[in-house]
Structure 1
Amino acid sequence: MGNTSWTGVSHFVLLGISTHPEEQIPLFLLFLLMYAINTSGNFALITLIISAPRLHTPMYIFLSNLALADICFTSTTVPKMLQNIFSPTKAISYLGCLAQTYFFICFAAMENFLLAAMAYDRYIAICHPLHYPRLLTGRLCALVVAVCHVLSHLHALLHTLLMGQLAFCAENRIPHFFCDLYPLMKISCTSTNLNTLLIHTEGVTVIAGALAFIVASYACVISAVLQIPSAHGKWRSFSTCGSHLSVVAMFYGTLTWVYFRPLSSYSVTKGRIVTVMYTVVTPMLNPFIYSLRNGEIKGSFKKWMNRIQTSFFR
């Protein structure tokens, strides 16, 4: 029996954020602007880190991978949403929907693991500064990044394979701007108990495990910083962590609100608004949060711009 016969549908219809015609153009322009800022800002951050030798440290290697994950994360959903705004059908194929679900989960998990790796970097840098080069070597840093990628793909594959077992009898209209887990489970005509159980067990373990690791790392960091005698030293140490903590709060706050609740209490309308926060807004803000409060990045950026201007006017 073919795939189409047992799912009941060959494609889905993504209704988007709003179905009101008068809101389509403003939404298109708004999300196009945010997507352009996201890709250009994160790409500039990656280029700066690669081109500046002083930024070839574990902290900035993790940050460049986070910026790449942000670009891929947003690119999984926003281009299709922009296309569908002016599409008469707003359709996405069944396999295309599963592929979108896979890459969305994958890059969300990758951001989750990278934020934990960055917390570990700050813990070593502040709590064991003299041993930092020995404890966090370039080889270990590359291994951590590779593990983040592998775990992210395995996590996404598990949820996507289970999603592929659901049947969709007649309803194929998804009141969302991409193929997210809960909206798909809402329109399924078969039991989603196993899917929900997996989200609330394996999913919680992955997200809450990384978050607990981040909290434990920063508990040690705060304890170490409070022992610094000078107020200037305390402020300097805390300032290196402020950007990371801001991103952690935005990412985990919205992610937890959407997924770690019963399917019966999930509201598609509220869910898609909150989803915009961690799929579009947070990735767009990340390069600015990390660069505006980071002296090394600002200094490297000025040198980079000076080199560009010098070569341009030469």
Structure 2
Amino acid sequence: MSGLLALLDDVAAIAKVAAASVDDVMGQAVKASTKAAGAVIDDAAVTPKYLHGFEASRELPIVWRIARGSLFNKIVILLPIALLLSTFLPILIYPLLMLGGCYLCFEGAEKVWHVLSPKHHDQAEAVAKKVVEGAHLEEQKIKGAIKTDFILSAEIMTIVLSALPEGQPIWLEAAALGVAGILITLAVYGAVALIVKMDDLGLAMADHGRFGLTRKLGLWIVQGMPYFMQLLIIVGTAAMIWVGGSILVHGLHELGWHLPYDAIHDIAVGLANGAGEMAGAVEWTVTAFLDGVLGLAVGAALIPLVSAAKGMFGGKTSGAH
């Protein structure tokens, strides 16, 4: 009997450790995921464009296929690579993070350039449309979305990895990365599915609502969705540039060049000193704005370099994003 009680005590102790480990994994995953918020917002803002032009009945199946590809990117490909880097080459984490930051800055700056140069953008879109015309458009769109997701997912997983505590067991790190990848994918593509179906929901409310207020609300949703999509694109672009600039500033700081970080910090703190209770918000806003200015400058500098490189290798001189 005493042996059975001892065994039950051991089982209870193991269960407590397991429960604590699960709590630890979830806590680390959620906390680290918030560090990648900017890249997550950008991922959610970029994806809906791949659904443009398809019938309503195909929207959710396409979102599901892209989400499945995103999970494969994060869990099957990127998670093992992140663990190998963390274990054997941790020195490469910040340089790779900064490389991803440069990509985000470039993508954001190129979107701004497309707005400032619409004729150039329209020509690029016309070329892209001609290339895929008559082909398997849905398959190409899905492949393009998964490819874009891979780049953004690599950035997200690297940010999450850099935010996890150092010196913990590799299984705990792997579990936290995996949970973070799943949570982020569910959040991104759940939001995308909701966004792309909102106009259908609004239309149903406007046509079949039992109350006048319901029908009016549905009409507002239908009329407002194009403006919301534009706002989402703006927010996504701003987040891309801000996150890219922030990654570069913090990466340079970690690698030993403190000037950009210190300069931005000193300006933000100086402007926040006279803000009273709003000091924290002012400091954060100024820091984000200056990170974004730096990110936009870096991205703008990369546009001609990337265009020249594409020209040298026979690619398009401008992406049709």
* Fold in common (TM above 0.5): no
TM-score of the pair, normalised by structure 2: 0.29
Normalized per residue, the structure richer in helix is: 2
Q: Which has the larger radius of gyration?
A: 2
TM-score of the pair, normalised by structure 1: 0.30
